Amino acid sequence: MKKPDVLASDNKSRVNLAITMAMSKPSIFTTATAGGYISISRPTKFLKNLEICGEGRISAWVDSMRACSPTRIRTTPYLADYDQSSWIDHHPSALDKFEQIIDASKGKQIVMFLDYDGTLSPIVDDPDRAFMSDAMRKTVRKLATCFPTAIVSGRCRDKVYSFVRLAELYYAGSHGMDIIGPAKGSKYKEVGSGRGVQFQAASKFLRMIDEVYEQLVEKTKATPGAQVEHNKFCVSVHFRRVEEKKWNELAQQIRSVLKEYPKLRLTQGRKVLEIRPTIKWDKGKALEFLLESLGFADCTNVFPVYIGDDWTDEDAFKILRERGQGFGILVSKFPKETSASYSLQEPDEVMEFLKRLVQWKRPSVLRAQL
């Protein structure tokens, strides 16, 4: 597959993030909480203390953010040369291949994992107004009657819940560092009579994240359009409403704060840089945790489907490839380096795909109820 230079360099900066996935299975400790949830803790594993905030690395991220802006993608000549049809051959539309997907899932329990921004809601300028449509909510509600369904988001869990407003789902916020999962079917259910399991991989970092948030707000306030979002266990600094010529300046402001915090690292999203603990925990780990809580730890008869649009979703796509179970669907209008198997272009197509899953499942649910 011919790859444009810009994708190669994006990939390089992603590799530079060095998000290692090799976490050995830790032991699990559980305690019942006042909220009725079983709280689970595991020994924290840290990523190697890499040089995460080097000047070169920061500029590489800003460059790749520029290269990824849709207007740039449409006008950049070497991307125009990119063989879109070859990319589609490797990552066909999940709608076009619906029957193939269903065939692969036969005899297995489908479990749905959905990213929020850019997957269930369209990308908008103001992160506080990234509402999901009523039609999408209705579809996700129906989906959850057919399959166990979880939202896995970079957002703080409460915030993403306030957008989705469906109590029947499981939620993993802060890039999977704050999970409310099922107790039903979980091996943890014997520990208490809680409503579910709660797992906060980065609880030790709460105070540090608060401190960094305050400093970032202060440091970036002179940059028009910059917005700092507190996502509980991580912080997002938004570039979307900042003039492009100011992006380097904003990135340097972030760097100047972060260099004092070797236990925090940066990751990149869509016109956003995100600050999070260096622990070995991400959306892929959250997916595994939720499968485990659902009682599918070592099962071969489970078929997880993860739909997401962002680089942070790649951690989950990779886990599915490694497990050889289910598959990832990347939401993107443009060719992107990805470990997902299929693609959908935008949230409307995601909704269509979810509707088809419901339509396919519902007759058998009805038959089983007779």
Q: Which residues bind ligand L263DTV3 (CB under 6 A)?
A: 115-118, 123-125, 127, 130, 153-155, 229, 231, 236, 238, 240, 269-272, 274, 310, 312
* Nearest-approach distance from CB 81 to ligand L263DTV3, in angstroms: 27
Report how far Cα 307 is from the mean position of its chain's Cα atoms.
9
Type and span of the H or E element at 271? none
Q: Are 186 and 342 in contact (CB under 8 A)?
A: no
Q: Exposed/middle/buried for 27, CB within 10 Å: 0-12, 13-18, 19+?
A: exposed
Among residues 116 and 199, whose Cβ is nearest to ligand L263DTV3? Answer: 116
| Least CB distance to ligand L263DTV3 at residue 190 (A) | 32
CB of 280 to ligand L263DTV3, least distance (A): 18
**CB-wise, 292 or 309, nearer to ligand L263DTV3?**
309
Amino acid of residue 248: N
Of 264, 263, 316, residue with least CA distance to 285: 316
Query: Could you tell me the smallest distance in angstroms from the CB atom of residue 241 to ligand L263DTV3?
Result: 8
Closer Cβ to ligand L263DTV3, 91 or 271, answer by number:
271
The count of C-alpha atoms lying within 13 angstroms of the C-alpha of 346, restricted to the half-sphere facing its C-beta, is 6
Tell me the C-alpha distance between 296 and 326, whole Å. 13
- 158 catalytic? Reply is no
| CB atoms near residue 97 (< 10 Å) | 15
3-state helix, strand, coil in the chain (%, to 5): 45, 20, 35
Report, in Å, the least distance between residue 301 CB and ligand L263DTV3: 28
d(CA 328, CA 130): 23
Taking the least distance from each CB to ligand L263DTV3, the nearer of 197 and 272 is 272
Q: Which is nearer to ligand L263DTV3, 191 or 237 (CB)?
A: 237
114-139 as b/e: b if 16+ CB within 10 A: bbbbbbbbebeeebeebebeeebbeb
Q: Which residue is nearest to ligand L263DTV3 (CB)?
A: 154
111 or 307: whose CB is closer to ligand L263DTV3? 307
Structure tokens at 105: 């899932």
Residue closer to ligand L263DTV3, measured from CB, 155 or 265: 155
Could you tell me the smallest distance in angstroms from the CB atom of residue 134 to ligand L263DTV3? 18
Of the candidates 200, 199, 273, the one whose C-alpha atom is nearest the C-alpha of residue 236 is: 273
Find the length of the chain. 370
Find the shortest distance in angstroms from Cβ 80 to ligand L263DTV3. Answer: 25
Q: Which of 5, 151, 3 shows the shortest CA–CA distance to 67?
A: 5
Long-range contacts of 12-15 (CB under 8 A, 24+ apart): 12/60, 13/57, 13/60, 13/61, 13/64, 13/268, 14/268, 14/311, 14/314, 14/337
Catalytic residue, chosen from 10, 115, 282, 310, is 115
For tokens 């595994």, what's the residue? Answer: 288
The residues carrying an active-site annotation are: 115
